[in-house]
Structure 1
Amino acid sequence: MLLIVGTVPDETFPLTIGPPALEGADMIINGIRVPVNRGTPALVGAVLAACQVLGQIPVTTALVGDIGTGKGSRKLYEHLSRELSGIAPTTLAFHYLQPDVDWHNKILFAAEEMKKRPVLIADAGFMYAAKMSGQAPNYDLFTPDVGELSFLADETAPHPFYTRGFILHQDNQVPDLIARAYEYKNGARHLLVKGSVDYVVADGEITGRISNPAAEAMEAMGGTGDTLTGLACALIESGKSIPEACRIAARVNRMAGVYANPTPASQVMDIILQIPKALARVLEDPNTDVRLDTKE
């Protein structure tokens, strides 16, 4: 089972655990509707869209409302530290949560004490906490964008706010940032670096660069990084190896963007609706127009 842990930007949203469904532009969990626009709902939406092609992968969400105060995140941390072994996920994806090193460690230890350790994936706030705790190498996959990679690469930064300016948002320095992240043991076993070029990394080595197709309007859309992470999660739970899942996810996310033909006014749901068509095509021919194991 894939367990997706994250937050909803609504402080009235209760701590809710259960299987999600996609209906129109909304995610529904235990009868509660949440708009799929960006953040964890967008990640979940991408997973559910992928399931239309991959089959009925068991998916459960653990969500809570948090508008940045950390109150909801702490409630979810506390609950999972007690109940994670009973949920028993095989793939565990952490997304938008307020970074908290102490609670992060409790959750990580609970996961590692499970009878069968799940595949551990972290993005966004939880990835920050993983790096800040010094536990990054215990994770199987991080999915940073270039700005987040800069934080992983900065061995002195205790928080993303303090990332050194000289390595911020430098797309052409991605290989150097990847090397720095691993040099200082701030990288997971695998990385999927999201950007104008998506990089697939295994144990510090770049094994894939995916730059095609390219829908330029996607660069300005919020939520497309969340859909990419969701696709990787679904593919890993379906049985793909992590590097293969990352390569396919990057290709599918890009192709869904092309199919959606986005404009600056487009929403991430426009991309999600195209995921089944894009995934079916890529699974039929994963290497079409994809540059793998080559230098750009």
Structure 2
Amino acid sequence: MATWLITGASSGLGRGIAEAALARGENVALAARDLGRVDDLVSDYPNQALAVYLDLGDLASIEYAVIATRERFGGLDVLVNNAGHGYRATVEESERERIDELFNTNFFAVGRIIRRVLPTMRSQRSGLIVNVSSIGAVRGALGNGYYSASKAALELLTEALEKEVAHLGIETMIVEPGAMRTGFFGDALLETRRHIADYDEIADRYRKTEATDSHDQPIDPKAAGRVVVEAIVGGNRPQRLLLGSDCVAAARAALEARLAELNEWADVSVRADFDNDDERCE
């Protein structure tokens, strides 16, 4: 029986992962700002589930969540960094305070949690850190530049972390969801308050409207949660786990286009090298 700490466990993918892990008999610390939204899980799994308050903007709550998990269950085996949100704005329309908050939530706070759990995992010589990213990290989406950048930064941090802790028995995994039928496109989705007229002609492709949350996204968060848990406990887990048919299609198109461009320009790219070994040593 492993112990999990899941952030953003009160809704969406985080709750889907929590439900699937609890159903398998795992111990789960359900980290959320609104603990009332996980009361039912604690009631259904009184011996396995622990509700812990966590606000990614509050350093003390990060410390508390990790300590409370260890004290209740005796360790911490799987950290799932799921909490985060989006932000709709062109680069020029983006607001400094919203950019700072976005990166703190989606990137810097995740790093703080990781640094806080690593001593426990190092002492155990085991552990798994799962960072939930987005298809937005694979290719920048119109009007989502800073959101995509925050998730791309998280992915590169995760890749570096894997290389740093593999010899300690600690592993990492990146989860890249596509469009999921959750509150992500509703109240949780922030939008710039600055609107520049020159962007009005493309506004319907990125600005938030009443139709933004159309409730027709292809991914079921409960099914996605089960997929994530099955990949984690299966043993032969991928470095990146894509979720949803839309994510698979978008990632394939983006990566194939990038590879084609690399191959097309490879002969030009290598011209930046020194002509011979003698010049390279100067």
TM tier relative to shorter chain: 0.3 to 0.5
Q: Which entry has the higher C-alpha Rg, 1 or 2? A: 2
Greater helix share, 1 or 2? 2
TM-score, with length taken from structure 2: 0.35
